[in-house]
Amino acid sequence: MEYLGQYKAVYKAKSGCEDILAKAQDGGIVTSMFAYALETGIIDGAIVAGPGSEPYKPEPMIATTVEELFASRGTKYSISPNISLIKEATRSYGLDKIGIVGTPCQIQAVRKGQLYPIGLRDVPDKIALALGIFCMENFPYQGLFQMVEDHCATKIDNVTKMDIGKGKFSVYTERGVNSQIPLKVTHKYEQPGCHVCLDYVANMADISTGSVGTPDGWSTVFVRSAAGEAAFNKAVEAGWIVAESMDGVKPGLELVEKLATEKITKNQKYLEHRAHKEHAALKPLRNPYI
């Protein structure tokens, strides 16, 4: 299996717009791509993880303006069921060209939905731009809350940013980095379904992006499909995105590949373990992959 998937090009990139960068998670690639695509009619709306009723609890929303996109900037390390709006987007919102951002599993769901639109009438040909974000794991909200409030001893209302990188979960407040805990502490709070996940860099997205591989403030960007390539190149041309070669960038693709390999081989082992071959007395657990 190719852990990084097929791609046409890979870049070190960031937004060309300071306003987007001010509150973006990394290089502001997701918000910039959608803003550019909205302005130029490549999409007529985007399904993003908007703010929810509790701090850092994401709520899927359909953004049809740049202002709404701005409200969705930044990573929320909890589950945002973005696909739940994919049919609604074509109905109440009347979108014909949908943008959607999602974790690798969500992009898999989009592609399955396009090829097997069992309950997704008229959705398949309305997906105009699917942006994937790298993802090692995700946390149910109650778990995230406990990580922040208990382990990091920080009130979640005061948090201005959360980040996972270099083996640590970091919580920022207005005063800067407030608390860091090693990921070995956070593992037990991960969503169980993440442990059977076989994709790290959203191999099925039009464009996928994440922080790993490039210096702080920049993003690593894989341009994968024809639609992704066309949109990305135009966004670069129009100045919405600044893209540079990955050659010589540290830690570079090597680290991305290392993490992808680690994640996928670990989860493949776990899937094998679930088959309970070593215990004749245990029935196997279900394996979704065929």
Partner 1 sequence: MGLLDKLKGLLFGNEAVSEGKQDAKPGAKPADAKVEQKPIITKPKEEKPVADKITVGHVHMSGCTGCLVSLADNYEGLLTILDKYADLVYCLTLADVRHIPKMDVALVEGSVCINDECSMEEILETRENAAIVVALGGCACYGNTTRFCRGGQQNQPQHEGYLPIGDLIKVDVYIPACAPTPQQIRNVCLMAYLLLKGNDEQKALATAYLTPLMNLAAAGTEACGCDLMTEVINQGLCCGCGSCAAACPVRAVTMQYGKPQIERDLCIKCGACYAQCPRSFFSFDVCGQYESITNLIAEVMKP
What is the pairing mode between strands 127-133 and 207-210? parallel
Minimum CB separation of residue 41 from partner 1 in Å reads 20
Query: Using the 8-state DSSP alphabet, how is residue 147 labeled?
Result: I
Sequence-separated (6 or more) residues with CB below 8 Å from residue 195: 267, 270
Specify the 3-state DSSP secondary structure of 144. Answer: helix
Please check whether residue 35 is in contact with residue 69, taking contact to mean a CB–CB distance below 8 angstroms: yes
Strand partners, 164: 169
- Contact pattern from residue 59 through residue 88 relative to ligand SF4, giving x for each residue in contact according to CB under 6 A and a dash for the rest: ----------------------x-------
Q: What residue has token string 């129009």?
A: 238
Given 15, 138, 214, 220, the residue binding partner 1 (CB under 8 A): 138
Is 203 an interacting residue with respect to ligand FAD (CB under 6 A)? no
Given 194, 230, 242, 264, the residue binding partner 1 (CB under 8 A): 194
Is 275 an interacting residue with respect to partner 1 (CB under 8 A)? no
Q: 154 vs 203, which CB is nearer to ligand SF4? A: 203
Is 194 an interacting residue with respect to ligand SF4 (CB under 6 A)? yes
Given 198, 207, 212, 231, the residue binding partner 1 (CB under 8 A): 198
Token duo for residue 123: 């959705």
- Contact pattern from residue 70 through residue 89 relative to ligand FAD, giving x for each residue in contact according to CB under 6 A and a dash for the rest: --xxxxxxx-x-x-------
Amino acid residing at 99:
G
Binding residues for ligand FAD restricted to 97-156, rule: CB under 6 A? 101-103, 133-136, 138
What are the strands of the beta sheet with 9-15, ordered from one edge?
58-63, 45-51, 98-102, 127-133, 207-210, 219-223, 9-15, 241-245
Q: What are the residues binding partner 1 (CB under 8 A)?
A: 1-10, 60, 78-88, 102-103, 105-106, 108-109, 111-125, 138, 140-142, 191-198, 203-204, 225-226, 229, 274, 285-286, 288-290
